[in-house]
Amino acid sequence: MEAQTFSNLPEVENVDINDLAGVSKEERLGIFCDEDGNPVRLTYDQLVADLISQYEETIAEYRKLTEALDNLSYSSTVTRVSLEGMQEKKDKLNKLQGAIEALYLYSIHVDPNVTDKEFTFAE
């Protein structure tokens, strides 16, 4: 059996998608920068507060969509689009709730000294 030669194959170019998308190394590592460009890491408290804030904003949007859907005259297209939007919000709510619960469990079972704040989370 004769060995095959691969000399006629096109040349492969390695591409870093993050560079193409304009995502900096700091952003990939979860480091955010202040106004002067200095890297800043979020604290546990800031992360929890941000997730709770996102949850509250998303639940408000979800409730608005629900109310708007209740007030619409139903057509199949409007209903389908509205229900898809509501499902997207519901999925985001579930993800945020899971993240908040995970951080809570982390603070209870892994590192009880990570924060001295008591966060309240009510649905």
pLDDT in tens, 78-117: 666 677 888 888 999 999 989 988 888 888 888 888 888 7
User: Mind listing the pLDDT tens digit for each residue in 42-89?
Assistant: 788 888 888 888 899 999 988 888 887 777 666 566 666 677 888 888
User: Could you tell me which of 47, 29, 54 has the C-alpha nearest to residue 115?
Assistant: 47
Residue written as token pair 């949007």: 61
Distance between CA 30 and CA 43 in Å, rounded? 11
User: Taking the model in full, what pTM does it have?
Assistant: 0.58
Is residue 39 within 8 A of residue 26, CB to CB? The reply is yes
Q: What is the DSSP string of 54-108?
A: HHHHHHHHHHHHHHHHHHSPP-HHHHHHHHHHHHHHHHHHHHHHHHHHHHHHIII
| pLDDT at residue 105, rounded to an integer | 87
- The pLDDT value recorded for residue 9 is 67
pLDDT at 31: 61
